[in-house]
A and B are shown apart, each in its own frame.
Chain A
Amino acid sequence: MALITVRDLSLGYEGRAITEKLNFTVNAGDYFCVVGENGSGKSTLMKTLLGLREPLAGEIIFGDGLKKNEIGYLPQQTVVQKDFPASVWEIVLSGCQARAGLRPFYNKEEKALARENMERMGITDLEKRCYRELSGGQQQRVLLARALCSARKILLLDEPVSGLDPKVTAEMYSLIRQINKEGIILIMISHDLSAAVRYADHILHIGTTLFFGTKEDYLKSEEGKIFLLQQGGIENDR
Chain B
Amino acid sequence: MIDKLGLYLEYPFVRYALIVGVLIALCSSLLGVTLVLKRFSYIGDGLSHVAFGAMAIAAVLNLSNDMPLVLIVTIFGAVLLLRTGQNTKIKGDAAIAMISVGALAFGYLLMNIFSTSSNLSGDVCSTLFGSTSILTLTKGEVLICAVLSVAVVAIFVVFYNKIFAVTFDEDFSKATGVKAEAYNLMVAVVTAVIIVLAMNLVGSLLISALVIFPALSAMRIFKDFKKVTVCSAILSVVCAFFGIVISILAGTPVGSTIVVTDVVAFGLCSLAGFVKGGLSA
Interface residues of A (CB under 8 A from B): 47, 50-52, 67-69, 71-73, 75, 78, 80-81, 84-87, 90-91, 93-95, 97-98, 100, 104-106, 128, 130, 132-133, 146-147, 150, 156
Interface residue B225 (Cβ < 8 Å from any Cβ of A) = yes
Residues in B with CB closer than 8 Å to A146 are 172
**A31: min CB distance to chain B, Å:** 20
**B142: min CB distance to chain A, Å:** 29
Distance A126 CA – B40 CA, assembled complex (angstroms): 30
> Nearest 5 pairs between A and B by C-beta?
A68-B177, A130-B223, A87-B224, A50-B175, A69-B177
Could you list 11 A-B pairs, sorted by A, with CB under 8 Å?
A: A47-B171, A50-B171, A50-B175, A67-B177, A69-B177, A73-B172, A75-B171, A78-B169, A87-B224, A97-B162, A104-B157
Residues in A with CB closer than 8 Å to B171 are 47, 50, 52, 73, 75, 78
Query: Please, which residue of chain B has its CB at the minimum distance from the CB of A132?
Result: B223
Interface residue B176 (Cβ < 8 Å from any Cβ of A) = yes
Are A85 and B222 neighbours in the complex by a CB distance under 8 Å?
Answer: yes
Interface residue B226 (Cβ < 8 Å from any Cβ of A) = yes
Distance A52 CA – B86 CA, assembled complex (angstroms): 11
Are B158 and A104 neighbours in the complex by a CB distance under 8 Å?
Answer: yes
Contact pattern, B 170-182, Cβ under 8 Å of A = 1, otherwise 0 = 0111111110000
Residues in B with CB closer than 8 Å to A95 are 172, 176
Query: Please, which residue of chain A has its CB at the minimum distance from the CB of B158?
Result: A104
Distance A51 CA – B181 CA, assembled complex (angstroms): 13
Are A97 and B178 neighbours in the complex by a CB distance under 8 Å?
Answer: yes
Which of A71, A78, A98, A150: most chain B CB closer than 10 A? A98
Contact pattern, B 184-226, Cβ under 8 Å of A = 1, otherwise 0 = 0000000000000000000000000000000000010011111
**A132: min CB distance to chain B, Å:** 8
Are B173 and A97 neighbours in the complex by a CB distance under 8 Å?
Answer: yes
Interface residues of B (CB under 8 A from A): 37-39, 157-162, 164-165, 168-169, 171-178, 219, 222-226, 228
Are B225 and A86 neighbours in the complex by a CB distance under 8 Å?
Answer: yes
**B175: min CB distance to chain A, Å:** 4
Are B38 and A80 neighbours in the complex by a CB distance under 8 Å?
Answer: yes
Are A84 and B37 neighbours in the complex by a CB distance under 8 Å?
Answer: yes
Distance A156 CA – B171 CA, assembled complex (angstroms): 13
**A107: min CB distance to chain B, Å:** 11
Distance A71 CA – B174 CA, assembled complex (angstroms): 11
Q: Which one, A67, A80, A100, A147, contacts B37 given CB within 8 A?
A: A80
**B135: min CB distance to chain A, Å:** 36
Distance A97 CA – B216 CA, assembled complex (angstroms): 26
In the complex with contacts A84-B168, A94-B168, A72-B226 CB distance below 8 A = no
Are A71 and B175 neighbours in the complex by a CB distance under 8 Å?
Answer: yes
Residues in A with CB closer than 8 Å to B174 are 50-52
Distance A217 CA – B165 CA, assembled complex (angstroms): 41
Residues in A with CB closer than 8 Å to B224 are 85-87, 90, 128, 130
